[in-house]
Structure 1
């Protein structure tokens, strides 16, 4: 793969309402430090030269800086200010992408992504300009309708994860549009601009931490990796 500049835009705007905590979930400590620090570390392990951009609500930025001092967290990164929706937060973060290259967009509360998945997404985006990690469905699915519900063929569906990686020109152009409710992730924004997206295999433990149960899983996985 050509050594294109790599940006990683980490969106960390959650307020943790489903977590039942006053502290936003990206700041909750697990396995020795806040979730968000583990997330940044995952990309530094992949490539220490990546250009990290963390998107935070303005009201959270001082707290994050205080946490970095408290935990002696010195991974270099820039901070962008979050917007009204995730779409607007990503668009604000993209303003700090100032050269051609590849841009990964990742949820701040997905600290368990593996180096192999990150690498696969960057490699696919280098050739195809847009790549996302997915997993096959393992549970049965049903579709609601006016008369009740019906089973659907789960082999036609997949879970979508992050990082979603794009050629910088492709994603910058895609985000130069008004917000639409159909934009559920970055891939949907890029596809709306007319560009197809390549699917690569994700990793099962790359969960988005949303509930207290997710925290327990994440802590166990992180501690298990440390003990290997």
Structure 2
């Protein structure tokens, strides 16, 4: 059976607000270059033939072009202007996917995803239609209730990461529906059309760089890999 073409929609819609910086978090420098470049490199290393689609807020497209020139970043990728929400941004990225294939959706600020994790997610999606990377919680979990809160068994819960990989036809169908409040990621969008979500084991290194503390970890991880 011929292998399906692989795509990665890398969604980078962040601002610098929670990072307490003026610069959008995907452009913050870690180990000598912007976070987003590290993320793109991961998918390119996994498969140099992968079709890379980077979704950025419209007003950041020129800045990104300048950064690519400044850092001599030469990995070929398509840039697409984002939507008002993550749902809208993924939908815009999906418009650049042609025909059949396997489509990964990944956070632009998760630059430390393992190549083995990416591979496992694509393989699971090829077999089952969808694959979502997740890890077990390390901390105890409490559920908020009307009376206050109660302990819940953490073995019954998973923390969802990206990439989330889907067969293109399934993802297209899911994104044809109107956006809803409970859509927090692609898995929730796909699940709402009746598809089953297959979980793939992630890694605690696959952090999402969101707050200043994450940057300290990111620099440490990057140093280890140099």
TM-score range, shorter chain: over 0.9
Cα 1:107/1:179, change in 2 over 3 Å: same
Deviation at 1:179, TM superposition (A): 0.6
Structure 2 match to 1:193 = 193
Encode CA deviations 1:179-216: one digit per residue, 9 max, x unaligned.
10010100000000111010010011001100111011
Partner-residue secondary structure (3-state), 1:18: coil
TM (normalized to structure 1)?
A: 0.98
Structure 2 match to 1:107 = 107
Measure, in 2, the Cα distance between the counterparts of 1:11 and 1:144. 31
The aligned runs of 1:4-15 (5 Å cut-off) are 4-15=4-15
Structure 2 match to 1:59 = 59
Measure, in 1, the Cα distance between the counterparts of 2:130 and 2:98. 19
Deviation at 1:146, TM superposition (A): 1.9
Structure 1 match to 2:42 = 42
Is residue 78 from structure 1 mapped to residue 78 from structure 2 by the alignment? Answer: yes
Measure, in 2, the Cα distance between the counterparts of 1:23 and 1:16. 5
Structure 1 match to 2:170 = 170
Measure, in 2, the Cα distance between the counterparts of 1:191 and 1:180. 13
The aligned runs of 1:81-160 (5 Å cut-off) are 81-160=81-160
Deviation at 1:85, TM superposition (A): 0.4
Encode CA deviations 1:11-37: one digit per residue, 9 max, x unaligned.
001012100000000000010100000
Measure, in 2, the Cα distance between the counterparts of 1:99 and 1:22. 39
Partner-residue secondary structure (3-state), 2:126: helix
Deviation at 1:2, TM superposition (A): 4.8
What are the ranges of 5 or more consecutive residues in structure 1 without an aligned counterpart? none
* Alignment coverage as a number of residue pairs: 226
Provide runs of 4+ in structure 1 moved above 2 Å: none
CA root-mean-square deviation: 0.9
Measure, in 2, the Cα distance between the counterparts of 1:119 and 1:160. 17
What are the ranges of 5 or more consecutive residues in structure 2 without an aligned counterpart? none
